[in-house]
Amino acid sequence: MGNTLKTSTLKQTIPPLQNGDRLTQVEFEHRYSASSVKKAELIEGIVYMASPLRITQHGEPHAQVMTWLGVYWSATPGVQLGDNSTVRLDADNEPQPDALLRIERGGQSTISEDGYVEGAPELIVEIAASSVSIDVHDKLKVYRRNQVQEYMVWRVEDEELDWFRLKEGKYIPLETNSDGVICSEVFPGLWLDKTALLAGNLIKVIEIVQQGLGTVEHQNFVEELSVRNDQ
At residue 38, the pLDDT reads: 79
145 in any annotated domain: yes
Provide the residue-wise pLDDT of the chain in tens; the chain has 231 residues. Answer: 444 444 444 445 888 888 888 888 888 988 888 888 778 898 888 888 877 778 888 999 999 999 999 999 999 999 999 999 999 999 999 999 999 999 999 999 999 999 999 999 999 999 987 766 877 888 999 999 999 999 999 999 999 999 999 999 999 999 999 999 999 999 999 999 999 999 999 999 999 999 999 999 999 999 999 988 776
> For residue 87, what are the domain limits?
53-230
Per the structure, how many domains does the chain have?
1
Residue 4 belongs to some domain of the structure: no
In a domain, 19, yes or no: no
CA-based nearest residue to 47, from 60, 35, 59, 63: 35
Q: Which pTM was predicted?
A: 0.87
What local confidence, expressed as pLDDT, does residue 1 receive? 40
Q: Is there a domain that residue 37 lies in?
A: no
Q: 14 near 34, Cβ under 8 Å? A: yes
Residue-level pLDDT at 19: 81
Sign of CA dihedral 163, 180, 68, 38: positive
What CATH code is carried by the domain that includes residue 218?
A: 3.90.1570.10
Residue 11 placed within a domain = no
Question: 87 and 34 in contact (C-beta within 8 Å)?
Answer: no
pLDDT at 4: 46
CA dist., res. 69 & res. 166, Å (int): 20
Are the C-beta atoms of residues 122 and 145 closer than 8 Å to each other?
no
Note the pLDDT of residue 231. 65
Q: Nearest 5°: CA angle at 69, between 67 and 72?
A: 110
